[in-house]
Amino acid sequence: REDGDVEIDDPAVPAVAHLTGTGATDVLAAAVRAAGGTLHGARTAQVQYRPGSDLVVRYRGDVTWGDGR
């Protein structure tokens, strides 16, 4: 786990386990790849979490796109 990473476990919000902590990069990489890009790195920038209700996570990522952007 890198400094600044967040890990939350909440059975009421199952996606929490996939969007925080060490597994989040794999989820982000798959989403970026599906959109035609390559994720070179990412870190958590902001987490808004309401236990038992919802989670919003913002990431800072290093991405290259197939069109060179």
- Nearest CA among 18, 65, 19, 13 for reference residue 44: 19
Domain ranges of the chain: 16-62
Residue 28: its pLDDT value, please? 96
Question: pTM for the full model?
Answer: 0.75
Residue-wise pLDDT for 14-66, tens only, equals 988 889 878 899 999 999 999 999 999 999 999 999 999 999 999 999 999 98
Residue 36: its pLDDT value, please? 96
